Structure 1
Amino acid sequence: MRRIWLLILGAFTLGLDAYVMAGLLPVVADDLDTTVSMAGQMVTAYTLAYAVSAPLVAGLLSGTRPGVLLVVALAVFTLGNAVTAVSTSVAVLLGSRVIAGAGAGVFSALATAGASALAPEGRQGRALALVMGGMSAGTVLGVPVGVLVAEEAGWRATMWLVTGLGVVALAGLCVRLPRIPASPGVPIRARFGALTDRRVAPVVGVSFLAAVASLGLYTYLAPVLGAAGVDAGGTAPYLWAWGIGGVLGSVVAGPLLDRTGRAAALVTAVLVVLVLAEGALPPLGAAAFPALVLWGAAGWALQVPQQQRLLALRGGDGDATVALALNNSALYLGSAIGSGLGGLALAGGLPAERLPWLAAGVAVLGLGLHLAAGRRAPRGGAPGRGPEGAPGREPEGAPERVSGREPEGSR
């Protein structure tokens, strides 16, 4: 596992950059003499660039050496953040966020695929969990530090912090990254096939709905807590509770997946926890710490089995990275759409304390899609039997083994 620590550092930097910007919007708007809503478009620019670049670039260049692409993607991400730090106008700021988001999207997809490829047999789940844990740690540890730096030295200092972390990870990748086997080039038809694959689409759809429910609601955690009587200066412990839960969930999910080998069952359990945790927020009010920990854990743990399912589904083809990139895009689009819908709901007069119930409803839709897709999954080969006839393998459409092999009869 020591071979992937540089990928984890890169993921930590991505997590910091993605979530710290929301806390810097007021000071950025004041510094650039614009409105908070206009400054907020830098989050949209980053998100959309991430969402578009991940499947497009990763698919077009899937035949290229992954190590080279990882270095280039992280270099683009770091350059974008450096430009953000020196931006003197809204136009330059938005352009820099597009650059950073494009690099982040490609790096994230390649890092998850690379971590799985570098992990020993039977420990791919742990590798995926560590990369996801790096990103969640960027939120729970990096974001508070970044906001503190901004309070002491200005928002540009925070962006230089992100840039510096990117430089460190980039230098390490250039010197120490082990060789990652290149996947075969993916023809155009195969790339589009990943978008329309009836096995892949429901998995990505569940990730999208879960992101709407979890990351979208996180944007409005402060007003939700405010409705429960928590003043603005007292929200930090609640944010820490959510973030600590996220780190625990993403780290624990990997070993659990490796031990049980049942990704689809783990997804079901995690979605149930997400629904219950978000639904419990309004009645718990200021005593919502346990629900916040469970919500954060479920939101971050979900992507470990989701990514492993995609690797198993597409692992026999050359476009596994495309499927992972598509899943990452769904996460960012879900976050953006969830935030937008939450803002519209509040602007329309919905009480903030009801937002968690709406989010829980979206999570229920994701659970329903997951269960329905499992029932509709085609059954090829010998259901319930492994390649050597060993019991425990689920049928096609619900891959459960962490080896990354395709289920029987899936091609």
Structure 2
Amino acid sequence: MSETAAPSATSTVYLIALGAFALGMASYVTAGLIPMIETAFAVPVAVAAQLVTAFTLAYGLGSPVCVALLPGHLQRAGLLAALAVFVLANAASALATSFSWLLLFRVLAGIGSGVYLAMGIAAAATLSVSGRGKAIAVIMGGMASGTVLGVPLGLLVAERLGWASALWLVALLGLIALLGLAWRLPELPATAAIPLRRKLLLLADGHVILILLVSLLAAIASLGMYTFLAPLLTAPEYGGIGSITPYLWVWGIGGVAGSFLIGSLADRIRGPVLTFAIMLTLTLALLALPLTAGWHVWLTMVPIALWGAVGWALQVPQNNELIRAREKQGDGNLAVALNESALYLGSAIGAAGGGLLLVLNLPMWTLAIAAAAVGAIGALLQILNLRRRAL
């Protein structure tokens, strides 16, 4: 990268990260808006909660299909169009006059989110070849910041101005990123026209499948356990805390720190090695949860912060490795989209698995141990990836 190109590439990456901030905010703020939406549209809470399901399913399942169908010569236009869909869908959500329309617009927002993030990561990797890991880390840090900082901000605005104001804020942030990218984003190299049948051969790439499987297991362990952190820490034998909020903040702040700090490491340490170290750390942090909670509940802040940091950081080397594995075939953005799908699928599996353990009335510590066991399986699989690279 030339010296004159570097500042332009840097500003573009930060604009993509701003869009990712809006995406992270949109992904989780709806859950906090459910009571307000329930009242506004006179629907049961179980029905209102389907807004989150609609967004995540569209994100996880719809985005890889859209990325796969996008022609290789429309990379820049595709990224801008995905962000425009995201902005318009959030604005339309804020204007929705019925719950059915709101549900439809959340589906469109989910698809736009997934396509934008996958193509944004691929674009950043293209523009920042010498510092690819750092560029991806900035984008993932933006998404983590949107979740940790943006969601509370959105909910605070909603409490004062109504539920729609949070979605207007998301749309405004997305619009700023869209206008900035329309101005600063250069033309991206066109990839060769690849028939859909050939793109699907990506699923026959053993290296890619192994990476995706590790991401899936990491999401089952990390995001699955996140769902049940409150039941664990509010249990009498583990402190019986009254508020889970400080612990969620520690998890989130750890995630933001991990997302940004991993960038420099990703450019110096081989991706598979870094992923193995992260999976091992995640496993140990989850194992430490019931142990530290049994000593004193405040001690859990340490493994929770570590868990948040490595849980969010993992996707930097994973996405970097996927792009590296498929850039010659021209479908790295599709591999990244599938990786995002693996995360959402893993979150759903982890939540369902943890719920099953609770239905069986098993001790609370089994939640953390089960999550750690899944993380350990992921670490063992990553050893296979290391051996594969060594051959």
**Counterpart for residue 82 of structure 1:** 91
**Counterpart for residue 339 of structure 1:** 351
Is 1:135 the counterpart of 2:147? The answer is no
**Counterpart for residue 167 of structure 1:** 175
Aligned-pair identity (%): 47
Distance 1:54 1:80 in 2: 15
Distance 1:370 1:12 in 2: 29
CA gap of 1:88–1:230, structure 2 versus 1, over 3 A, is farther
Distance 2:170 2:247 in 1: 24
Q: CA deviation at 1:136?
A: 0.7
Instruction: Count residues with an aligned counterpart.
Output: 376
Q: TM-score, normalised by structure 1?
A: 0.87
Q: Deviations over 1:65-101 (max 9, x none)?
A: 2211111101111122122223343322221111000
Distance 2:109 2:45 in 1: 20
Contact 2:73 2:189 in 1 (8 A): no
Contact 1:63 1:182 in 2 (8 A): yes
**Counterpart for residue 269 of structure 1:** 277
**Counterpart for residue 389 of structure 1:** none
CA gap of 1:354–1:27, structure 2 versus 1, over 3 A, is farther
**Counterpart for residue 3 of structure 2:** none
**Counterpart for residue 218 of structure 1:** 226
Amino acid paired to 1:323 = A
**Counterpart for residue 4 of structure 2:** none
Amino acid paired to 1:213 = A
Identify unmatched segments of 5+ residues in structure 1: 378-393, 397-411
Picking from 307, 311, 314, the partner of 1:302 is 314
Contact 2:272 2:385 in 1 (8 A): no
Contact 1:60 1:186 in 2 (8 A): no
| Corresponding residue SS for 2:373 | helix
CA gap of 1:70–1:29, structure 2 versus 1, over 3 A, is same
Picking from 226, 229, 232, the partner of 2:239 is 229
Picking from 20, 39, 44, the partner of 1:35 is 44
Contact 1:16 1:162 in 2 (8 A): yes
Distance 1:35 1:217 in 2: 27
CA gap of 1:212–1:89, structure 2 versus 1, over 3 A, is farther
Distance 1:16 1:230 in 2: 30
Is 1:249 the counterpart of 2:258? The answer is yes
- Out of 358-367 and 322-331, give the one that drifted further: 358-367
Contact 1:59 1:186 in 2 (8 A): no
- Out of 17-26 and 205-214, give the one that drifted further: 17-26
Q: CA deviation at 1:231?
A: 4.1
| Corresponding residue SS for 1:183 | coil
Q: Deviations over 1:247-302 (max 9, x none)?
A: 11111111012123x11111011001111111111222222111111000110111
Distance 1:62 1:3 in 2: 22
Amino acid paired to 2:239 = G
In terms of fraction of residues, the more helix-rich structure is: 2
Q: Deviations over 1:337-359 (max 9, x none)?
A: 22233334334434545322222
**Counterpart for residue 189 of structure 1:** 197
Identify unmatched segments of 5+ residues in structure 2: 1-9
Picking from 193, 198, 203, the partner of 2:206 is 198
Is 1:291 the counterpart of 2:303? The answer is yes
Contact 1:44 1:336 in 2 (8 A): no
Distance 2:179 2:84 in 1: 10
Amino acid paired to 1:271 = M
Matches within 5 A, 1:50-199: 50-119=59-128, 121-199=129-207
Q: CA deviation at 1:230?
A: 5.0
Is 1:240 the counterpart of 2:246? The answer is no
**Counterpart for residue 49 of structure 1:** 58
Distance 2:29 2:97 in 1: 19
Picking from 194, 207, 210, the partner of 2:215 is 207
Contact 2:58 2:111 in 1 (8 A): yes
Amino acid paired to 1:12 = F
**Counterpart for residue 409 of structure 1:** none
CA gap of 1:305–1:20, structure 2 versus 1, over 3 A, is same
Distance 2:34 2:233 in 1: 20
Distance 1:164 1:35 in 2: 29
- Out of 177-186 and 135-144, give the one that drifted further: 177-186
Is 1:20 the counterpart of 2:20? The answer is no
Distance 2:133 2:290 in 1: 34
Distance 1:352 1:152 in 2: 37
Contact 2:218 2:311 in 1 (8 A): yes
Q: TM-score, normalised by structure 2?
A: 0.91
Contact 1:16 1:142 in 2 (8 A): yes
CA gap of 1:14–1:358, structure 2 versus 1, over 3 A, is same
CA gap of 1:158–1:116, structure 2 versus 1, over 3 A, is same
CA gap of 1:201–1:68, structure 2 versus 1, over 3 A, is same
Q: Deviations over 1:182-226 (max 9, x none)?
A: 222222232111122111101011111111111222223322222
Distance 2:100 2:247 in 1: 35
Distance 2:35 2:366 in 1: 26
Q: CA deviation at 1:137?
A: 0.8
| Corresponding residue SS for 1:64 | helix
Contact 1:47 1:333 in 2 (8 A): no
- Out of 364-373 and 75-84, give the one that drifted further: 364-373
